[in-house]
Structure 1
Amino acid sequence: MKSIAARAIQASASALFLAFFGVSALAQAPSASGYPTKPIRLVVPFTPGGSTDVLARAIGQELTKAWGQSVVVENLPGAGGAIGADKVAKAAPDGYTLLMGHIGTLAVNPSLYPRLPYNPVKDFAPVAWVARVPNVLVVHPSVPARNVKELVALAKSRPGQLNYGSGGNGSAANLATEFLKLQTGTSLVHIPYRGTAPAVTDLMAGQIQLMFTGLPALVAPLKGGQLRALAVSSPQRLE
């Protein structure tokens, strides 16, 4: 059996690749015709303000218009998304409790935690592939690096002095950055947060220096010049 460390390294490599495939919407299979006939709960297993939350709220608004029934977004964060995912897994299988799935809840968690309270394959029925969401490597504008090569050189000249944030231990952003460290031989200090939004807030304030996270959570600070993007995990550049 692989050690936790080995599985974490493997998962971090997958996180960079799978983040390109983005966020999927998963749900319990509907059982009645004429669906939906009452309001629907869309569970986001992370804190408000992150990429998954931003997408879920946009989708919820459009589904509300299309279905004529309210789609209520409910944030149930904790344990890397496991709390929210487990809540949906144990809900009535009637299609009225949906999960905004994510690489963390569906792929990373099973690789890191052998005793999850839910089975990502058996407990959910896929409904739609919503979006491809690449991870973006961003830094605070005060960081004197304009590209990844310069960032790596800076990190090597200041080992253990640059802090990076993530939405929590074991998150896709955490594993992506750890993979970057392994590939480049750099020493960066991990500062885990309870969600992406507070990490981005501290990054904009200069409390941390860099982070990987999904693009939807970064659009406003990038356009406003509060953050600088250095790289993206997709094969193509983002315009």
Structure 2
Amino acid sequence: MSRLPVSVSRHAIALITGLCGLAMLVPAAAQTAAWPTRPVRLRVAFPAGGLADVMARSVQQQFGEALGQPLVIENRGGAGGNVAGTEVARNGGDGHTFLITTSTTELVNPSMFARMPFDPQKDLQPWPCSPTASSS
């Protein structure tokens, strides 16, 4: 029985965690008729065609139908997640833009990069998810 490389497994777990956070939005959206009022954007911090992109696109149609708005996937790979993180930090405060990335963006990058284009602790709000999380 073959095992996935450790890096693929970590990326898969991180992406699934992010998508779980998005899944928690669906019941909230059903309760609040005012949201979403326009397409919801998922900025994926990895290139198109990779595992994160494939997993995000695998739920695109179902989430879009549940939300009543299109779910737009935008790939912004580069700089360990800083490219996508910067765009979300600067333009994502609209409540309709979400970042799909690994914890590296907020935990490791501030130590690796002398000057970060944004402060992950202040500019991003993590949305943790676990299998036992409840949306009620």
TM-score range, shorter chain: 0.5 to 0.7
Shift of 1:130: 7.6
1:1-239 matched pairs, under 5 angstroms: 19=10, 22-23=14-15, 24-25=17-18, 34-129=34-129
* Change beyond 3 A, Cα 1:114–1:45: same
Give the TM-score of the pair, scaled to structure 2.
0.67
Take 1:92 and 1:74, find their aligned partners in 2: how far apart are those partners?
Answer: 13
Q: Which amino acid counterpart does residue 98 of structure 2 have in structure 1?
A: L
List gaps (5 residues or longer) in structure 2. Answer: 1-5, 23-31, 132-136
Is contact 2:43–2:100 with CA below 8 Å preserved after alignment? yes
Is contact 2:85–2:105 with CA below 8 Å preserved after alignment? yes
Structure 1 or 2: more helix by fraction: 2
Take 2:33 and 2:119, find their aligned partners in 1: how far apart are those partners?
Answer: 27
Identity %, equivalent residues? 37
Take 2:96 and 2:84, find their aligned partners in 1: how far apart are those partners?
Answer: 15
The CA RMSD measured in Å over matched residues stands at 3.0
List gaps (5 residues or longer) in structure 1. Answer: 1-14, 132-239
Structure 1 or 2: more strand by fraction: 1
Take 1:122 and 1:105, find their aligned partners in 2: how far apart are those partners?
Answer: 13
2:29 counterpart residue number: none
Give the TM-score of the pair, scaled to structure 1.
0.40
Which stretches of structure 1, 4 residues or more, deviate above 4 A after TM superposition?
Answer: none
Say how many residue pairs are matched: 112
* Change beyond 3 A, Cα 1:104–1:68: same
The structure whose Rg is larger is 1
